[in-house]
């Protein structure tokens, strides 16, 4: 007959047991580990809860875990709740979330087909857009319309919007806090549209979408991804008005998009 374990062996065994529970993420079962199924205890303990906020195990743990499991769970990837464009516009309201509201004539939310396979995202409205409430209607907008038609789309088949919805005074660049205030609405628009391809127009739009500061001259022409949607960075049409010799580079980028959308 084997000798009964010594107090030291019992202590070692207990340490190993607790260490296993900790490695499984179980941190609250110490008071009454025998009474709780490990999986039920684990469901009760959010892994990210700071130690100071942890509370002792509450009975009945198994019942609470079962109720939690029965609740419908949002898919983990759904960072932005999907709403219609009208709902998003309604939420934006007469927005005063940043100081760009002070100089605008009107909000330029976006325009086009809510079921568009192709979405263009620019930086912000200029004077013409501010006056008309429609994105890309000035000279740069007219060039964008030509680009869209050259891609074998009609302008009303695609969707066009900007990172910021109000005109920066004197057409200055949007400031980081203005972008931060307005970006949730762009995100919501793109989540609602779910296009097959996004074309990012110019440095600000692309850097905002990609969250990186690489120069647009290096980013353009390379497929990237935004929330699982293929993104093609390219130059802004306003830049092309100043630098027409780079139109061929943009055309090469747009041809990649056409190929992806079955237009080539
Ligand atoms: S730029 Fe965007 S966040 Fe700022 S006031 Fe206009 S709509 Fe609101």
What pTM value is reported for the model? 0.72
Residue 57, in any domain of the structure: no
Nearest atom of ligand 1 to the alpha carbon of 164: 1
Nearest atom of ligand 1 to the alpha carbon of 98: 4
Rounded distance between C-alpha atoms, residue 221 and residue 143, angstroms: 19
Q: Is the dihedral of CA 109, 119, 163, 228 positive or negative?
A: positive
Per-residue model confidence (pLDDT) at position 193: 98
Task: Give the residue carrying structure tokens 């499984």.
Answer: 24
Is residue 232 lining ligand 1, measured as CB closer than 6 Å? no
Residue 42, in any domain of the structure: no
Per-residue model confidence (pLDDT) at position 44: 34
Per-residue model confidence (pLDDT) at position 145: 98
Per-residue model confidence (pLDDT) at position 65: 39
Residue span of the structural domain in which 208 resides: 85-260
Residue 141, in any domain of the structure: yes
Chain segment 31-80, per-residue pLDDT in tens: 333 333 333 333 333 333 333 333 333 333 343 334 333 333 433 444 67
Which token pair is 34? Answer: 């025998």
Strand partners, 198: 119, 231
Nearest atom of ligand 1 to the alpha carbon of 174: 1
Element (H, E) at 77: none
Is residue 161 lining ligand 1, measured as CB closer than 6 Å? no
Which token pair is 88? Answer: 């998003």
Q: Spell out the residues 6+ positions from residue 158 whose beta carbon is closer than 8 angstroms to its own.
A: 112, 113, 116, 117, 118, 119, 120, 148
Residue 25, in any domain of the structure: no
Is residue 181 lining ligand 1, measured as CB closer than 6 Å? yes
Is residue 134 lining ligand 1, measured as CB closer than 6 Å? no
CATH number for 186: 3.40.470.10
Return the residue whose CA atom lies nearest to atom 6 of ligand 1: 166
Number of domains in the chain: 1
Residue 95, in any domain of the structure: yes
For the chain (264 residues), the mean pLDDT of every run of 10, in chain order, is 53 48 38 36 35 35 38 45 96 98 98 98 98 98 98 98 97 95 98 98 96 97 97 98 98 98 96
Q: Using most ligand atoms within 8 A of CB, pick from 91, 93, 94, 96 the residue to mutate for ligand 1.
A: 96
Nearest of 79, 100, 54, 66 to residue 188 by alpha carbon: 79
Which token pair is 258? Answer: 């056409």
């Amino acid at each position: 007959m084997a000798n009964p374990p010594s107090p030291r062996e019992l202590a070692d065994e207990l340490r190993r047991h607790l260490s296993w529970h900790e490695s499984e993420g179980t941190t609250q079962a110490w008071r009454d580990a025998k009474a709780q199924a490990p999986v039920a205890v684990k469901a009760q303990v959010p892994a990210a809860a700071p130690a100071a906020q942890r509370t002792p195990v509450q009975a009945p743990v198994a019942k609470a875990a079962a109720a939690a499991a029965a609740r419908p769970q949002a898919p983990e990837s759904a960072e932005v709740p999907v709403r219609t464009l009208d709902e998003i516009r309604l939420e934006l309201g007469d927005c005063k979330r940043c100081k760009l509201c002070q100089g605008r004539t009107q909000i330029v939310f976006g325009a086009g087909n809510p079921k568009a396979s192709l979405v263009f995202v620019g930086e912000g409205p200029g004077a013409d857009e501010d006056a008309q409430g429609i994105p890309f209607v000035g000279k740069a907008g007219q060039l964008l319309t030509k680009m869209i038609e050259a891609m074998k789309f009609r302008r009303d088949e695609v969707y066009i919007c900007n990172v910021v919805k109000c005109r920066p005074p004197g057409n200055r660049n949007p400031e980081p806090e203005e972008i931060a205030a307005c970006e949730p609405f762009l995100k919501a628009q793109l989540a609602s549209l779910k296009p097959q391809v996004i074309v990012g127009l110019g440095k600000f739009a692309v850097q905002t979408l990609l969250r990186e500061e690489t120069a647009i001259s290096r980013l353009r022409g390379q497929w990237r991804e935004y929330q699982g949607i293929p993104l093609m960075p390219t130059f802004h049409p306003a830049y092309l008005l100043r630098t027409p010799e780079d139109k061929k580079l943009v055309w090469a980028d747009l041809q990649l998009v056409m190929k992806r959308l079955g237009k080539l």
